[in-house]
Amino acid sequence: MTKSEIYGKISRALAATPLGYCRVRIRVGFAKGAQWTLLPFSSYWRLGGAEQDVLAATSYLPTLNGIVFWDFGAHFGIHTVGMAMQIGPTGQVAAFEPDPGAFRRLQYHVEINHLSNVRLFEAAASRTSGRENLYLPGGKGSAVSHFRYYASDDMTGVDSISVPTIAPDDLVAEGKIRGPHIIKIDVQGHGAEAVAGAINTIRTTLPIIAFSNHSEAERSGIQRLLEPLSYTPVHFDGSSCAWLDITEALLIPNQLLKSEQTT
C-alpha cells in the first residue's frame, strides 16, 4: 500500500469521528470563506483544486446573479456551495448525489453555510426515475462510486447498494427546479444517461456544460445527444477540442461561441 493510499484510509476513518466534522474555511475559489469539514480530503477543496471546470463555464455568461446551476455528481458539494454563494438569492442550485455517504456530507455543508437557494436530491440524475445499483470500490462517500460502465462488466466482489435515479426533466415539469444556465457533469461514466434524462430541458435552455469523461460509452453517448443540438466541445482555455479527445471539456452551444467571437 502506498503512502497516499495509507493517508486516504486514515483520513476516511477519521472523517467518521467528531474530528472529521471540525469546521475549517475554504481559502480560495468560488466558495472562498465558506465553512467546510476538516476530513476527508479537505485540503484539495480548501485550496481551490476542484473548481476549474465550472469557473471556465461561467466565463461565457455576462453575470452569475440569478442563474440556475445543476450539479450532476455533487459529491461533498464544493461546486454546489461555491455557485450558491455566487448566484444570489434569486438563483438556484440543484445538486444530485446518489452515494449516501457523500450526500450526508453535501447536506451538512449546505446547512452550515445557510444556503437557502439549493435543492438537494439524494439520487443520480439519469434517463428515468427508478433505482439502480451503485458500486462502491472505495466505500461509501468515495469520489469513485459508480454505476456499471458497460453491461458486460463483471462487478463480482465489488460492494454495491441500490440507489434512486431521477430524470431532471421530470423535476422541471413538476416545477421543483428551474432550467439551467450551467450543468456540471462528473458522474463516473453515467453522463450520457444523465443528459438523456435532461434532454428536453437542455434543448430549451441550451446550457453550458462542464463535462468530465470516464468512458468511451459516456463520451460517445453525450456526443450523440448534444451534437444535433449544435454543441461544440472546447478546452477550459477556450481552444478547440475534438469530441474524441475529451477528458475534461466545456460543451458550448454554437450560438454562444459565435457571440464570443464577435465581441
Residue ranges of domains in the chain, CATH in brackets: 50-262 (3.40.50.150)
- CA–CA distance, 168 with 166 (Å, rounded to integer): 6
Judged against a pLDDT cut of 80, whether residue 104 lies above it is answered with yes
Report how far residue 69's alpha carbon sits from residue 58's, in angstroms, rounded to the nearest whole number: 10
**pLDDT-derived band of residue 255, with 50, 70 and 90 as boundaries?**
confident
Chain-wide mean pLDDT for the chain? Answer: 89
pLDDT at 218 over 90: yes
Mean pLDDT across 35-49: 76
Write the pLDDT tens digit of every residue in 43-60.
Answer: 667 776 567 899 999 999
Interval 24-41 mean pLDDT: 88
Q: What is the DSSP letter of 62?
A: S
pTM for the structure as a whole: 0.91
pLDDT at residue number 7: 60
Query: CA–CA distance from 248 to each of 49, 194, 242 (Å)?
Result: 14, 17, 11
Residues 6+ apart with CB under 8 A from 144: 137, 138, 188
pLDDT band with cut points at 50, 70 and 90 for residue 20? confident
What pLDDT is recorded for position 259? Answer: 63
Query: What is the percent of the chain where pLDDT is above 90?
Result: 68
C-alpha 123/C-alpha 103 separation (Å) is 9
Q: For 19-75, where are the alpha helices, taking DSSP H only? A: 42-46, 52-58
Categorise residue 192: left if φ over 0, alpha if ψ from -120 to 50, beta otherwise.
alpha
At residue 225, the pLDDT reads 98
More confident residue, 154 or 180: 180
Query: pLDDT category, 2, cuts 50, 70, 90?
Result: low
pLDDT of 252 over the 80 cut: yes
The confidence band for 74, taking pLDDT boundaries of 50, 70 and 90, is very high
Write down the pLDDT at residue 262: 56
DSSP-derived 3-state class of residue 17: coil
